Amino acid sequence: MLGVPSSAGAYCVGVERAPAALRDAGLVEALSAAGADVVDAGDLTTRLWRPDRESPFAQNLGDEVQAMMELSATAAELMAEGERLLVLGGSCMVAVGLCAAVKQSGERPRLVYVDRHLDLNTPHSTTEGSLSWMGMAHALALEGAAPELAGAPGSAPLLQPSDLVYLGVDPTRETTAWEREQATELGIAIIDQAALCDDPRGAAQRARNTLAAGPFVVHLDVDVLDFLDAPIAENVNGRNSGPTIAVLERALIELLKDRQCRGMSLGQLDPAHASSDPTAMTRLVSALVSALTTESL
């Protein structure tokens, strides 16, 4: 387990407190009680979002490049054979760092991206400026991506389109026209929110089977969840849509019980929002423990 307490690429401060909040909610103890041999490698450098007026469309780019380099180098050393790495973000940029670590360890990165967003924007396609909304665009080195970030893991692109599959995306309300165009042109597989909610186990199987055989990792953006069931995300727009924690748990179990899954990253959790429902963090920890400790049949 490795914490990345960084909100540099987020929309504001808050998500950098997620690693500590998950530990305080008993994640390590619950994993150990379920039979997992847990090594807590601690936290990387804390980096806070700030209003970057010099680079408003790619805010805190230098901090994010440094965070990715630190994460990829550290995570690559922790990804030992027969072990699984859990990366606690922070912003969704941890997914890019985890994939970079897979590449540094000598394997081809493949990613199941569990999110209601595509995160395919670039500093030229949106004025929002949050790099956490642009992670996959940089992993794929799309036109308009910041070269400093797209090239940070080494040779770009980090991911090929066939090595990325989305699970839980809300394509009608939570994606931009640019993102939809890129996904279509590149032929990236999308298993949408409705499919995830209707049949979480089947949707997860489809996502895994979309990728080629071999090692893969999973990224979970907690804003995929119905915000009313689990008010824990930085993004509060997901009200009355998306899976509950219980539904998501079934999908995660299906993905993580695969012995080829080398690890998972988690991002965009805001403990300040989570404080509105004292049960939410407990339920999330329970779901993560179930997914991480269920053995394949």
- Tens of pLDDT, residue by residue over 194-204, are 999 999 999 99
> How much is the pLDDT for 18?
97
> How much is the pLDDT for 82?
78
Task: Read off the pLDDT of each residue in 168-177 and give the average, rounded to a whole number.
Answer: 91
Task: Read off the pLDDT of each residue in 93-122 and give the average, rounded to a whole number.
Answer: 95
> How much is the pLDDT for 296?
57
Residue 62 has pLDDT above 90, yes or no: yes
205 within 8 A of 101, measured Cβ to Cβ: no
Q: Give the model's confidence band at 248: pLDDT under 50 very low, under 70 low, under 90 confident, else very high.
A: very high
Q: Give the model's confidence band at 156: pLDDT under 50 very low, under 70 low, under 90 confident, else very high.
A: confident
pLDDT for 231-245, tens place per residue? 999 999 888 899 999
| Domains of the chain (ranges, CATH numbers) | 2-293 (3.40.800.10)
Query: What mean pLDDT value characterizes the chain?
Result: 95
> How much is the pLDDT for 152?
83
pTM: 0.96
More confident position, 29 or 238? 29
Report helix, strand or coil for 271: helix
Task: Read off the pLDDT of each residue in 208-223 and give the average, rounded to a whole number.
Answer: 96
Residue 66 has pLDDT above 60, yes or no: yes
Residue 253 has pLDDT above 80, yes or no: yes
Residue 83 has pLDDT above 60, yes or no: yes
- Residue 56 has phi, psi (to 5 degrees) of -70, -20
Quote the radius of gyration of the chain (alpha carbons, Å): 17
Q: Give the model's confidence band at 246: pLDDT under 50 very low, under 70 low, under 90 confident, else very high.
A: very high
Task: Read off the pLDDT of each residue in 134-139 and give the average, rounded to a whole number.
Answer: 96
For the chain, the residue count is 297
Residue 297 has pLDDT above 50, yes or no: no
Class of residue 59 by CB neighbours under 10 A (exposed 0-12, middle 13-18, buried 19+)? buried
